[in-house]
Amino acid sequence: DIQMTQSPSSLSASVGDRVTIPCRASQNLAGYLHWYQQRPGKAPKLLIYGTSTLQSGVPSRFSGSGSGTDFTLTISGVQPEDSATYFCQQTYTTPATFGGGTRVE
């Protein structure tokens, strides 16, 4: 199985900060890497798919980058409503594993 590692598990930011959330895979994902946002008590929401494609309706301050085994979610100008946990997921192969998540406060 492909292992997905997200570190740190939490971070603090101030409004307007540029926040970067890393995700590392145990093997090459060929771009099959996606990012989800989950607010407490809610279902996850897809933000970025295929490493860098912004999902429709998602604010443009969110962006994704990376290749191979190393990927990053960037929030440029974090807003209060961005307080949530962010998960990366690989779908290169099954089981389509998630990272452990990074909580942004």
Partner 1 sequence: QVVESGGGLVQPGGSLRLSCAASGFNVSGHYVAWVRQAPGRGLEWVSIFYSAGATAYAASVKGRFIISRDTSKNLVYFQMNGLRVDDTAVYYCATGSTVVTPVDALDVWGQGTVVTVSS
Residue numbers of the site for partner 1 (CB under 8 A)?
Answer: 1, 31-32, 34, 36, 38, 43-46, 49-50, 55-56, 85, 87, 89, 91, 94-101
Nearest to partner 1 of 49, 75 (CB atom): 49
- Starting at the edge strand found earlier in the chain, the sheet holding 62-67 runs 4-5, 18-25, 70-76, 62-67
> Shortest distance, CB of residue 2 to partner 1, whole angstroms?
11
> Shortest distance, CB of residue 16 to partner 1, whole angstroms?
28
Q: Is 3 helix (H, G, I), strand (E, B) or coil?
A: coil
Bond into 8 cis (ω within 30): yes
